[in-house]
Each structure stands twice: as C-alpha cells, then as structure tokens.
Amino acid sequence: MTHTSTAFPAGFLWGASTAAHQIEGNNVNSDWWRKEHDPAAKIAEPSLDACDSYHRWEQDMDLLAQLGFTDYRFSVEWARIEPVEGTFSRAEIAHYRRMVEGALARGLRPMVTLHHFTVPRWFEDRGGWTADGAVELFARYVEHCAPIIADGVRHVCTINEPNMIAVMAGLAKRGEQGFPPAGLPTPDDGTTQAVIAAHHAAREVVRAVAPAAEVGWTIANQVYQALPGAEEVTAAYRYPREDIFIEAARGDDWIGVQSYTRTKIGADGPIPAPEDVERTLTQWEYYPAAVGHALRHTADVIGPDVALIVTENGIATADDTRRVDYCAGALNEVAAAIEDGLNIQGWLAWSALDNYEWGSFKPTFGLIAVDPVTFARTAKPSAVWLGGLGRTRALPRTTA
C-alpha cells in the first residue's frame, strides 16, 4: 500500500450547506409550513423551531469558521422577504445582508441560494410555477435580493434542485404521495419548462445587480447506472429527470452537483438495491463513489465551459464514523476527477447541521449536532476532521 496525499487547488471551496426552511424555524408564510400542518399531507412532524438558526446563525458560522471551513452555503427565504405579493420586507432583506457580512467577517465565503424548495403561500395559491406571470414574479423577487448579494457574494444559486421541484409537482398533479422503490417519479413537464425559464430570467437579474457574482443552479444527481443492454432505456429515463436541467445550465458560470447514492437501470426501468446492502437513515444505498460518477456525467453533458461545484454531498447516519468513511471515499472520487482534468471548484457537505429533512428530524445529515430543546451546537468528529482538511487542502489517499 502506498500512502499519498492530494492537494485541492488554491481557492477551492471547502464548506457546508444548509437551507433556510430546514434550519431557521417558524417560516410561517411558506407553502411547506402550511403543508406540515395539514393532516391530509401526512407529514410525520412539522419543522416548528427547526434549529432556530434564524436567531443563532452567528453560532453556526462561528463553529464552521473555527473548525477550518472556508465556505458556507445558505439560502434566503422568499416567504420572509415577500410575505404578501408585492410587499417586500426591508427588515428581512437587512437580516440576510447581515448574514452575508457576518460570514465575510469570519473568513467564510458566502454562497447564497435564492430558492431552496419553499415558496410563499400566496405564490402557491395563485398556481405556483406554472401560473401566468410566475417567472416574472420570481425575477422581481431576485431583483429585491440585490442588497443581499450585490457585494461580497461570489457564488449565487438561483434555484436548488429544479428537477426535484418538477418531480414533486408531477406527484401533486397526479394526486400521488410517496416515491417508488427505486428511481424518481415522472416530472411535470410544465413545471420543468417554468423553472428553467425562471432560472434563465434570474440569471440575467443576478448578472445585472451583482456583476461580480458567478451564477448557477444545482441539480439532484441520481447516478443512473445502466445494466448491460439497458443503455438506451437509461438515457431515456434520465433525460427528463436530470439531463434537461443540466443542459439548461449552459451559459451559467457554474453548476452545482448534488449526489448521495446511485440508481441502477435495467431493461424495464429502475431496480431497487439488494436488501443486504448497507443503507443510510434515508434508506439509500451507502455508495461514496456516487459523487465521482455524478461529476463525470455532468461534465459530459455540460461541456468544459461551465465549472463544477459539489454543492451537496453526505449521508444521514447515527454513526459518525460512517460519515467520515463516506466523505473520505467521496473526496477521493473528487480528487481523482480533478486529476483527470475536470474543472471542479469546490466541495460542500450536506449538511452543516442536523436539521429538518422535509418531514422529519430523524435523518441526521449534520456535521454539527443540535440539541432539540436547548439548541446547543456540538461539532461531531466528522466536522473536526473535515475542517482540518479545509485548513491544509491536503487529502490523505491510500493506493494499492
């Protein structure tokens, strides 16, 4: 065995990610808050106070900076900034600007996401993404985010995982609940086209109001792996669920790659993972190599002109040693892809905190544990280990 180390490039983004609704708490004007309190939706538990990060964001940033991370991805909440259609909260815009300034003061480079799954209730009530004028309303909201992102924010994400937004819209339109045993439900085509148009409109707004920022969006990569003879089936299955959204990023400055596990495809479609494989708390197959496949596929589709950033990667587990092992395996894949010439500019863990995972607090993805009563933050060993790598940018690697 040979023990070596790989140095990530200077300026490489090394951080962790969060989403407003999942950590802030009491996002009462959003569509998800309403859904969480609707018995018909059958949500296991509501977000309530979540991690109380709306009030404790300074603690979160202090910890990340002290651990050695250099970047923090967080989202701003549309339902707070525009709680009523056409009414924009100066106080909330100022709040998120303080977060940007707080990150910069701690040596954390902020990556700001403008939409991470939730929308204001009024937007949902008027028909959501496929309603007349929805794209223009999103662009107007982005314009009002100018004071937040205009200075000191290098990376702006317009929309997080638009393919999952389209998938969820397809479920809702068909009156279905829950996912199949393997693969993703069929996305709603109207929503797909709408979010792509919204991204393109928002991209131009960001470039106008924050010309120093680099803009992109993030895709949920399922790592579709074709079994022998199923290559055409796999490509046809993948295109509306993933590749159409990657293609829509042509002309962006960067694209976010978000990967957790893989999906095998046979002649008849997705095949569930065997019962005896190791699984995470989300019941996904434990597969650290996923991110490498996702990066390479994304690069093949998007071409060399758009930079790649791993904006989410990690596992839900109660055993932090498995998190370390998973991240080590994933980072080896990232390093190998960089060595092969891919333009990869960063890696951010999901998630900075154990948080609200869209219906339950049980899947613990966090590098930092959060006490549900006191909200005390405790860095896990994985956070200490990853933060140390951030200081050195050197990944220990073992080769045969």
- Tens of pLDDT, residue by residue over 157-210, are 999 999 999 999 999 999 888 899 999 999 999 999 999 999 999 999 999 999
Residue tagged 């055993």 (tokens)? 319
Q: How many domains does the chain have?
A: 1
CA–CA dist 260, 165 (Å, integer): 18
Phi-psi domain of 261 (left: phi exceeds 0; alpha: psi -120 through 50; beta: other): beta
pLDDT at residue 270 is higher than 70: yes
Per-residue pLDDT, 390: 85
Residue 343 has pLDDT above 80, yes or no: yes
9: exposed, middle or buried (Cβ count in 10 Å: 0-12, 13-18, 19+) = exposed
Could you say which DSSP state residue 113 is in? E
State pTM to two decimals: 0.97
The alpha carbon dihedral of 125, 131, 133, 137 has a sign of: positive
Beta-strand ranges (E) seen in 179-238 are 214-221, 224-226
The whole-number average pLDDT for the span 130-144 is 98
Range of the domain at 40: 2-399
Cβ 87 vs Cβ 393: under 8 Å: no
CA dihedral 244, 250, 254, 255 (to 10 degrees): 0
What is the mean predicted confidence (pLDDT) over 30-40? 96
Query: How crowded is residue 2: how many other Cβ atoms within 10 Å of its Cβ?
Result: 7
CB 242 within 8 A of CB 182: no
**Which CATH number goes with the domain that contains 148?**
3.20.20.80
User: Could you read off the pLDDT of 98-128 as tens digits, one per residue?
Assistant: 999 999 999 999 999 999 999 999 999 999 9
Residue 18 clears pLDDT 50, i.e. is over it: yes
Q: Does the pLDDT of residue 2 top 50, yes or no?
A: no
Residue 31, Cβ density class (10 Å: 0-12 exposed, 13-18 middle, ≥19 buried): buried
Count of C-beta atoms within a 10 Å radius of residue 321: 10
